[in-house]
Amino acid sequence: MTQHTQNEKFKLMTETPIPGLVIKMAIPSIVSMMISALYNMVDTFFVGKISTQATGAIGIVFPYMALIQAIAFFFGQGSGNFISRELGKQNQKSAEQMATSAFTLTLIIGSIITVFGYLFMNPILILLGSTDTMLSEARAYFSYILLATPFLMTSLLLNNQMRFQGNANKSMYGIAAGALLNIILDPIFIFVFDMGVSGAAIATAISQLTSFVFLYLLNSQSDGVHIKFKTFSARLFVWREVTAGGLPSLGRQGLASIAVICLNNAVKPYGDSAIAAFSVVSRIAMISIAALIGFGQGFQPVCGFNYGAKRYDRVRQAFWFTAKVACVVTLLLGIAGFIFARQLVTTFRASDPELIQIGMKALRYQAVVFPLNGWIIVVNMYLQTIRKTIPATIIGTSRQGIIFIPVLFIVMNFGLSGIQMTQMISDIITFIISMPLVIPQLRFMRKQEENEIQAFKELAS
Determine contact, residues 264/419, Cβ cutoff 8 Å: no
Q: Rounded CA gap, 137 and 22, in Å?
A: 43
The pLDDT of residue 4: 44
Distance of alpha carbon 162 from alpha carbon 214, whole angstroms: 12
In a domain, 1, yes or no: no
The pLDDT profile of the chain, 461 residues, written as one tens digit per residue, is 455 456 777 788 888 899 999 998 888 778 777 776 766 677 777 887 788 888 888 888 988 998 998 899 999 988 988 888 888 777 888 889 999 999 999 999 999 999 999 999 999 999 998 888 889 999 999 999 999 999 999 999 998 888 788 777 787 788 788 888 988 999 999 999 999 899 999 998 999 999 999 999 888 875 678 888 888 888 888 889 898 878 877 877 888 889 889 998 999 899 889 988 998 898 888 877 888 888 888 898 899 888 888 888 899 999 999 999 999 989 999 999 999 999 999 988 778 889 999 999 999 999 999 989 889 999 998 998 888 888 988 888 888 889 999 999 999 999 999 999 999 999 999 999 999 999 998 888 888 777 777 776 776 66
Question: For residue 159, what pLDDT is reported?
Answer: 86
What domain range is 126 assigned to?
16-455
Give the global pTM.
0.75
Residue 188 carries which DSSP code? Answer: I
Q: Tell me, what's the pLDDT at 135?
A: 92
Decide if 355 contacts 411 (C-beta within 8 A).
no
d(C-alpha 38, C-alpha 216), whole Å:
21
Let me know: does 371 contact 336? Beta carbons within 8 Å: no
Contact between 340 and 359 under an 8 Å Cβ cutoff? The reply is no
Among 278, 246, 312, 216, smallest CA distance to 72 is for: 246
Q: Is residue 381 part of a domain?
A: yes
Which class for 390: exposed (0-12), middle (13-18), buried (19 or more C-beta within 10 A)? exposed
How many domains does one find in the chain? 1
Helix ranges (H only) for 166-235 are 168-187, 196-219
Whether 4 is covered by a domain: the verdict is no
Nearest to 321 by CA among 25, 2, 6, 95: 25
Distance of CA 21 to the CA centre of its chain: 22
- Residue 311 belongs to some domain of the structure: yes
Neighbour-count burial for 408-426, b at 16+ CB within 10 Å, e otherwise: beebbeeebebbbbbbbbb
Q: What's the rounded Cα separation, in Å, for the pair 379 and 211?
A: 30
Domain assignment present for 9: no
Exposure of 43 in the CB half-sphere (CA atoms within 13 A): 31
The reported pLDDT for the residue numbered 158 is 93
Q: Is residue 5 part of a domain?
A: no
CB 21 within 8 A of CB 13: yes
- 226 phi/psi in degrees, rounded to 5: -85, 155
Which burial class, exposed, middle or buried, applies to 3 when counting CB atoms under 10 A from its CB (0-12, 13-18, 19+)? exposed
Residue 98 domain-assigned (yes or no)? yes
> Considering only CA atoms, which of 363, 365, 337, 179 is closest in space to residue 280?
363
245 and 82 in contact (C-beta within 8 Å)? yes
- Between CA 60 and CA 65 the distance in angstroms is 10
Residue 344, classed as helix, strand or coil, is helix
325 in Cβ contact with 294 (< 8 Å):
no
DSSP label at residue 401: I
Q: How many CA atoms lie within 13 A of 58 on its CB side?
A: 32
Report how many helices (DSSP H) and strands (DSSP E) the chain contains, helices first: 18, 0
Q: Is the dihedral of CA 440, 25, 96, 102 positive or negative?
A: positive
6, part of any domain: no
SS3 276: helix
131 φ/ψ angles, rounded to the nearest 5 degrees: -85, 170
- The candidate with the shortest Cα–Cα distance to 438, out of 402, 407, 396, 406, is 396
Rg (CA), the chain: 22
